[in-house]
Chain A
């Protein structure tokens, strides 16, 4: 066991490593954590993921841009690869939920989609990324194959956005219980509601929050039923 003081020192180093996209620092601090008996799950959540929260704020305030965020995510993954195998079994099965994500057919804008995907992975979701320019039927197939809780559709053009409406209809016809979240610059909460999506978010941090709310709703339903 480490002292409280040493514990917060290690958490601070993990956070700093993520925020400053310093992969070496993250690697070092992750090994220290393991050697000194720090709980791996605690190190992931309160070290790495906590650092990523700060990164999200820096992105919102335009101090960080897309490349910086992508590099922070790489640094986080270095730590998570080291720490995750040591997470105690009970905690490991704490997969938050499963998500299918992709940019819809005819649209190659995937920078925003990739940021959303990254937030989900960090929060412990299993993410099935279909990439960009994804034929609408493929969302249905992948959801059926993986039995994912949530499907996320991204579009950056007003025209390709229309494909989301069809995708929502197809997904709901196949599996009425699946939760659908849509986003991308031309999308709004009104459009999402009108087309029967279950959620919308203007940016990646809010997308995660929205997904967590959806999962909570789903789990409550399951425990009742």
Chain B
């Protein structure tokens, strides 16, 4: 048993090395920037997606202000699609928290899609911004805090570059066509993950939220999505995490077999039941409700939720999606206090 004297980085990396960590880490593979971190610099949300220094500083603010065990970049789901030639809307003139979206896709129909992988992926779109941010984070915090980065899963990236309804239908009607598109995307994502690891990311999360149980059947997940996740994950260096949000109850066993070191689920997952399904040794991260509890709840709700998550057998307290930036400071504080107090490893 490793005792409470570990720093954040040791706690996170120790978990992936199979050590028993007490208290368990509180971290995420997804965005966790808060408005409190932005306010210090007077930055607006749109600015931090476009500048490596601002991205790193914003990401570092959550461990610095609250003691969160990691810093994670990027924040939006447009990086990969943009590198492949899509147009992104940053809502540059908005004062509200609006996440960047894809405003121009590569094609409407999967049939018309022609994915051209840039020769210099490391120099494409905002990839250099993200890698600079990772490098800066590594330099500044790399000894104390775990540095995380994430890429989309191949199917979710597919939904960013082509009309999603068409992709969903073609998954049945022309699976060979969809498979060949996904194969191209697999390569892009493996390469990108490699670039992020090389820049200094300690762990990498693959977010395949487009293939959630709210949208596609467990059967299609098994026949179409899973082989690609297996391929991508096999080529990414450890530690690596597979994340799917939404209703994952019918696919957690499949998720656990995709070759990731850990799986990540959100509040729609019945964690205790999932633990029973995947066995005591598999690492499962979850499943704090990042909006309903963390933003809208009171500190008591956060505390209760942390205790429930620990009791259901999670290996870390981990939000089910990006922490929503408007999270009240007292809820973040309670998250950390409760996790350190009750988070005795299992």
Contacts and interface: CB of A to CB of B under 8 A. Distances in A.
Given A111-B165, A159-B96, 17 more contacts: A65-B220, A67-B169, A67-B172, A68-B172, A68-B217, A70-B165, A71-B169, A105-B98, A106-B101, A110-B164, A111-B215, A114-B165, A158-B291, A158-B295, A159-B97, A159-B326, A160-B98
Most-contacted residue by chain A among B103, B165, B215, B216 (CB, 10 A): B165
Given A133-B101, A158-B295, A71 B173 contact: yes
Contacts of A111: 164-165, 215
A66 B103 contact: no
B43 interface: no
B223 interface: no
B203 to A, nearest CB: 26
A66 B173 CA distance: 14
Interface of A: 21, 64-68, 70-71, 74, 105-106, 108, 110-111, 114, 133, 158-160, 186
Contacts of A105: 98
B100 to A, nearest CB: 10
7 contacts: A21-B172, A67-B171, A106-B98, A106-B99, A110-B164, A111-B164, A133-B101
Interface of B: 89, 91, 94, 96-99, 101-103, 164-165, 168-169, 171-173, 215-217, 220, 291, 295-296, 324, 326
Contact of A159 (B102, B168, B215, B324): B324
A67 B218 CA distance: 12
Contacts of A67: 168-169, 171-172, 215-216, 220
Contacts of A186: 291
B216 A70 contact: no
Contacts of A160: 98
A65 B220 CA distance: 10
Contacts of B173: 71
Given A65-B220, A159-B97, A106 B168 contact: no
A65 B215 contact: yes
Contacts of B99: 106
Given A65-B217, A159-B97, A70 B168 contact: yes
Nearest to A111: B215
Contacts of A158: 291, 295-296, 324
B92 to A, nearest CB: 13
Contact of B172 (A71, A106, A108, A110): A71
Contact of B102 (A21, A64, A65, A108): A108
A66 B215 contact: yes
A120 B295 CA distance: 35
Contacts of B220: 65, 67
Contacts of B102: 108
- Provide the main secondary structure of the chain A interface: helix
Given A106-B91, A108-B102, A158-B291, A66 B168 contact: yes
A65 B216 contact: yes
Contacts of A70: 165, 168-169
B27 to A, nearest CB: 23
B265 to A, nearest CB: 17
B63 to A, nearest CB: 24
B95 to A, nearest CB: 12
Contacts of A159: 96-98, 324, 326
A186 B164 CA distance: 21
A133 B169 contact: no
B164 A74 contact: no
Nearest to A186: B291
A90 to B, nearest CB: 34
A74 B169 contact: yes
Q: When A and B form their complex, which 6 residue pairs have the shortest distance between CB atoms, in order from nearest?
A: A106-B98, A67-B168, A65-B217, A108-B101, A66-B215, A65-B216
A71 B165 CA distance: 10
Nearest to A112: B214
